[in-house]
Structure 1
Amino acid sequence: MPESLKNTIMSRDSLLRLKELSMLRYRYILFILVSLFLLTGCSNREQQAIRALNEFEAESHDSISELDVIKKSEVNLQDDFEATIGEDESLETFSDEQGPIFDNLNKRQESIEILIQLNKSLDKARERLAAIESSQTKGVTKEDITSLMSSLDSFKKVKGKFTKDYQLMLDAERKFYSSLGDEDMDYKKFQAGLSDINKLADQNMKEVDALSTQLDGLSTVIRSVHDKLVVAE
């Protein structure tokens, strides 16, 4: 084989090897970049989950306070009712929806609306947790995340039933108290209306206690998962 041809073939082989090495180097660099991207993505998702849990935890503490407001307002209901009668024996105050009894109603209405708004941060926390529901998540097991998501779903269901039932009672109370100033209001109607409200109140107060207990337990689980994620960062 002529020396010139031999050199040409060797040059081609060298070029091919260089191309192969370049391709391997490119693939290696690409692998590193993709790995870094995935690690960064995981880290970001974990940080987002931590922030979402922080937000929900803060609002859940507010919810405990609102449940306490509801309980205390329920205790003061009789006194507020009597105070409203004392302000105006003609009962026109009831027709105008004024006085301590309606202040009591409005206060509980605000608390229920705050509890309903908790769904936004709850849904966000669950969404962020779903993004890290993996055995690759640092600091927590997949079972930890799955269990917390299940607890959030259960709490949302119980809270949804409570806020719906309690809103129905508030509407019934408002209708009843405002009707006390009507000319056709008599003792029979008064007793019937009061009896209906008391039945709703008894059931709802049981739900308040159940919701408070569940919220306390949920806060403990959230804090546990949150702290594990923070330590693993």
Structure 2
Amino acid sequence: MVGGSVEITRSRDSTCTLEIAGFCGAPLRASRNNGSLVLAHDKGSLLGILDKRTRQRRADISLSVPRHVELKVDSVSAKASLTDMPATAQLRSMSGSILVAGTEGNLNAWTSSGDMAISGIGGGRTVAQSTRGRIEIGVHRSGPGTVIDLASKHGDVEVEFSAACDMSVSASTLDGDLACDIEEFSVDGGCRRGKWASGHLGSGQGMLKAFTASGRITLTEAGPSASSSEPG
């Protein structure tokens, strides 16, 4: 996809439903390839990674898929959203935003300058990376199989942990700021270059790492009554 939006939700049965609206530009084709559903503009790769002459192509796509389906979305400026998906997902966007609400499988998300908001993480491995975009993440619960790796070169990274989290945490920035209001964590803002924070929530079975070169890192803990968090 070049412009527009891609919205993916979990279906209630084993069927896959596709809706396309707000379409303009070259034809957008749907096909099956070795058991996979592929959406692509003509002369483009998966979901429209295209050259400069095709930047006006856009569509608003709504897709519901069964829980076991693995997903791959590539876009230039389109907004990508994923809701309540336990399967593996890979989301990539140059300048479009990425929104994930509820995931239990492995998630790999990348943007160049688009912002990213991820909430409702329940397990699996989550990798979120950006060059200049902001990363906001809400960790709903965690355990031995939860691994979260966050990195933004120049963007901010904001993490909110729920009371149900059980994980070890380490965060560092080279030239940015670091704010942490979690009493169990150690924070070093020292005189030397770089700042870091580390500590454990619960017994520290899962793991989260966060890094920025020049962005700000913020670590917070939700109130005891919160069961999930929604970055805003």
Q: Quickly name the TM-score band, shorter chain normalised.
A: under 0.3
Q: Which has the higher helix share?
A: 1
TM-score (norm 2): 0.18
Q: Which protein has the larger Cα radius of gyration, Structure 1 or Structure 2?
A: 1
TM-score (norm 1): 0.18
Of structures 1 and 2, the one with the larger relative CO (CA 8 A, separation 6+) is 1
Q: Which has the higher strand share?
A: 2
